[in-house]
A and B are shown apart, each in its own frame.
Chain A
Amino acid sequence: MLDWLYFIPLLPLLSALLLILLHGRLPLMGVVLMGVGSMTLAALLTALVGWQFYQLGGAPVQQDLFNWLPLDQAPVNISLYLDRLSMLMMAVVTGVGWLIHWYAAAYMARDKDVQRFFVYMNLFVFAMLMLVLGDNLVLLYLGWEGVGLCSFLLIGFWQQEPDNVKAAKKAFVVTRVGDTALMIGLLMLFAEFGSLSIQAILQGQIADASDSLWWIGLLLLGGAVGKSAQLPLQTWLPDAMAGPTPVSALIHAATMVTAGVYLIARLHPLFEPQILSLVAWTGALTLVLAGLAALAQTDIKRVLAYSTMSQIGYMFLGLGAMAYDSAIFHLMTHAFFKALLFLTAGSIILKLHHEQDIRRMGGLFRSLPLTSSFLLIGLLALVGVPGSAGFFSKEAILAATWEAQTAGPTLWAVALFGVLLTSLYSFRLFFMVCFGKPGHTHRPDEFPATSVFVLPLWPLVLLSLAGGWIALDFGGVFASGPAQHLAWYLEWLPVGVALLGLLLAWWWYFPGTSEKARQSALSQWLQGGLGFDWLYDKALVKPLGCLVGLNKADMLDSPYRFIAWLNLSINQLLTLTQSGRVRWYLYGTLAGSFLMLGGLLWWR
Chain B
Amino acid sequence: MVALSGLIWAPLLLGLLSWLAEHRQRGAGNWVSLAGLLLLLLLSLYLAAMGESALSLSWFARFNIHFALLYDGLAQLMVVMTILLAILALAVSWQEIDRRQGFFHFSLMFSVAGINGVFLAADLFLFFLCWEVMLLPMTALILIWGHENRRYAAIKFFIFTQVSGLLMLIAIIALALFHQQIEGTLSFSLAELQHLDLPGESQFWLMLGFFVAFAVKLPTVPLHTWLPDAHTQAPTAGSVLLAGILLKTGAYGLIRILLPLFPEAAMNFAPVAVTLGVISILYGALMAFSQTDFKRLVAYSSISHMGFILLALFSWQAIALQGAILTIVAHGISSAALFCMAGMLQHRLHSRELGNMGGLWTSAPRMATMTLVFVMAGIGLPGLANFNGELLSLLGSFAVYPAHAMVAALGIIGSALYGLQLFQRAFQGPPGKEVQDLQGRELGFCAVMVLALVYFGLQPHLLLEVSAASLDKLVALASFSEVRP
Instruction: Give the B-binding residues of A (Cβ under 8 A).
Output: 20, 23, 67-72, 78, 116, 138, 141-142, 145-146, 149, 152, 156, 159-162, 165, 168-169, 172-173, 176-177, 179-180, 183-184, 187-188, 190-191, 547-549, 551-552, 554, 556-557, 559-560
Q: What are the residues of chain B within 8 A of A548 when measuring CB–CB?
A: 286, 289-290
- Alpha-carbon distance between A176 and B418 when the two chains are bound, in angstroms: 13
Q: What are the residues of chain A within 8 A of B289 when measuring CB–CB?
A: 548
The minimal Cβ–Cβ distance linking A97 to chain B, given in whole angstroms, is: 20
Q: Is B21 an interface residue (CB 8 A)?
A: no
Given contacts A68-B458, A169-B424, contact A183 B412 (CB under 8 A): yes
Q: What are the residues of chain B within 8 A of A547 when measuring CB–CB?
A: 286
Is the beta-carbon distance between B424 and A165 smaller than 8 angstroms? yes
Is the beta-carbon distance between A71 and B430 smaller than 8 angstroms? no
Q: What are the residues of chain A within 8 A of B319 when measuring CB–CB?
A: 71-72
In chain B, positions 445-459 with a C-beta closer than 8 Å to chain A are: 458-459
Partner of A191, one of B402, B424, B431, B464: B402
Q: What are the residues of chain A within 8 A of B221 when measuring CB–CB?
A: 556
Q: Is B6 an interface residue (CB 8 A)?
A: no
Q: How many A-B residue pairs have CB under 8 A?
A: 113
Q: Is B158 an interface residue (CB 8 A)?
A: no
The minimal Cβ–Cβ distance linking A549 to chain B, given in whole angstroms, is: 7
Closest to B416 in A: A176
- Alpha-carbon distance between A176 and B379 when the two chains are bound, in angstroms: 11
Q: What are the residues of chain A within 8 A of B429 when measuring CB–CB?
A: 159-160, 162, 165
6 extra A-B contacts, CB within 8 A, seeds A149-B381, A176-B412: A160-B359, A160-B430, A173-B417, A187-B405, A191-B402, A547-B286
Q: What are the residues of chain B within 8 A of A172 when measuring CB–CB?
A: 416, 420
Q: Is B376 an interface residue (CB 8 A)?
A: yes
Is the beta-carbon distance between B225 and A173 smaller than 8 angstroms? no
Given contacts A69-B391, A172-B420, contact A184 B409 (CB under 8 A): yes
Closest to B318 in A: A72
Given contacts A70-B461, A165-B429, A557-B225, contact A191 B398 (CB under 8 A): yes
Q: What are the residues of chain B within 8 A of A179 when measuring CB–CB?
A: 412
Closest to A556 in B: B222
Contact with A along B119-131 (1 / 0, CB 8 A): 0000000000000
The minimal Cβ–Cβ distance linking A541 to chain B, given in whole angstroms, is: 11
The minimal Cβ–Cβ distance linking B296 to chain A, given in whole angstroms, is: 10
The minimal Cβ–Cβ distance linking A160 to chain B, given in whole angstroms, is: 5
In chain B, positions 304-363 with a C-beta closer than 8 Å to chain A are: 318-319, 359, 361-362
Is the beta-carbon distance between A560 and B381 smaller than 8 angstroms? no
**Interchain residue pairs with CB less than 8 A apart (16):** A70-B461, A71-B392, A72-B319, A145-B381, A146-B381, A146-B383, A159-B427, A176-B412, A180-B413, A183-B409, A184-B406, A187-B405, A191-B398, A551-B286, A554-B228, A556-B225
Given contacts A70-B464, A173-B416, contact A142 B392 (CB under 8 A): no
Q: What are the residues of chain A within 8 A of B461 when measuring CB–CB?
A: 67, 70
The minimal Cβ–Cβ distance linking A404 to chain B, given in whole angstroms, is: 32
The minimal Cβ–Cβ distance linking A87 to chain B, given in whole angstroms, is: 24
Q: Is B224 an interface residue (CB 8 A)?
A: yes
Q: What are the residues of chain B within 8 A of A138 when measuring CB–CB?
A: 382, 391
Given contacts A20-B369, A141-B382, contact A159 B428 (CB under 8 A): yes
Q: What are the residues of chain A within 8 A of B420 when measuring CB–CB?
A: 152, 169, 172-173
The minimal Cβ–Cβ distance linking B424 to chain A, given in whole angstroms, is: 5
Is the beta-carbon distance between A560 and B225 smaller than 8 angstroms? yes
Given contacts A71-B319, A142-B383, contact A23 B409 (CB under 8 A): no
Is the beta-carbon distance between A551 and B410 smaller than 8 angstroms? no
The minimal Cβ–Cβ distance linking B186 to chain A, given in whole angstroms, is: 35
- Alpha-carbon distance between A177 and B382 when the two chains are bound, in angstroms: 16
Q: Is B287 an interface residue (CB 8 A)?
A: yes
Given contacts A187-B406, A554-B228, A556-B225, contact A69 B460 (CB under 8 A): yes
Is the beta-carbon distance between A180 and B412 smaller than 8 angstroms? yes
Q: Is B444 an interface residue (CB 8 A)?
A: no
Q: Is B395 an interface residue (CB 8 A)?
A: yes
Q: What are the residues of chain B within 8 A of A554 when measuring CB–CB?
A: 225, 228, 287
Partner of B413, one of A149, A176, A188: A176
Q: Is B51 an interface residue (CB 8 A)?
A: no
Q: What are the residues of chain A within 8 A of B369 when measuring CB–CB?
A: 20
In chain B, positions 380-439 with a C-beta closer than 8 Å to chain A are: 381-383, 388, 391-392, 394-395, 398-399, 402, 405-406, 409-410, 412-413, 416-417, 420, 424, 427-431
Partner of A69, one of B224, B286, B392, B430: B392
- Alpha-carbon distance between A554 and B288 when the two chains are bound, in angstroms: 10
Q: What are the residues of chain B within 8 A of A556 when measuring CB–CB?
A: 221-222, 224-225, 283
